[in-house]
Amino acid sequence: MPCLNARDVCQRLRDAALGVYPLQPGASHSGAGQVQVDIEGWQLLLDFDGRHLHHCQSCRSAEGDVWQLDTRQRFGTDPVSLLSTWELAQIEKLLKEAV
């Protein structure tokens, strides 16, 4: 199965922050603090506590490509850590409105 990288997922989050694509709540919540969202066919599982976005757990593109958080790797492998402060604030605002 083809893989995505953190930059691919980050770009989709950036597009949502800029309003290029809408961020919509997903079909289900996967657990405490985890929110599933849809950005133009991409399914993202985010760790969001209601106020702050901590990281992205996983992502599946509309084409079926997959990205999974690997906590063993170093800084820069989580798409959320690649967002600017403004982009992160926009995503958190959108998540608060969606959830």
For the chain (length 99 residues), average pLDDT per consecutive 10?
87 98 80 88 95 95 93 76 97 92
**Block residue for tokens 């990281």:** 55
pLDDT value for 71: 75
- In a domain? residue 42: yes
**Contacts by 71-74 with C-beta closer than 8 Å and gap 24+?**
none
Q: Which domain holds residue 26?
A: 6-98
- State the DSSP H helix or E strand holding residue 7, giving kind and residue range, or none if neither: helix 6-17
| pLDDT number for residue 7 | 95
What pLDDT score does 29 carry? 60
User: Which of helix, strand or coil describes residue 45?
Assistant: strand
* Residue 78 DSSP code: S
- List the one residue out of 11, 59, 54 whose CA is nearest residue 38: 59
| Assigned domain for 1 exists | no
**What token pair was written down for 60?**
């599946």
How many independent structural domains does the chain possess? 1
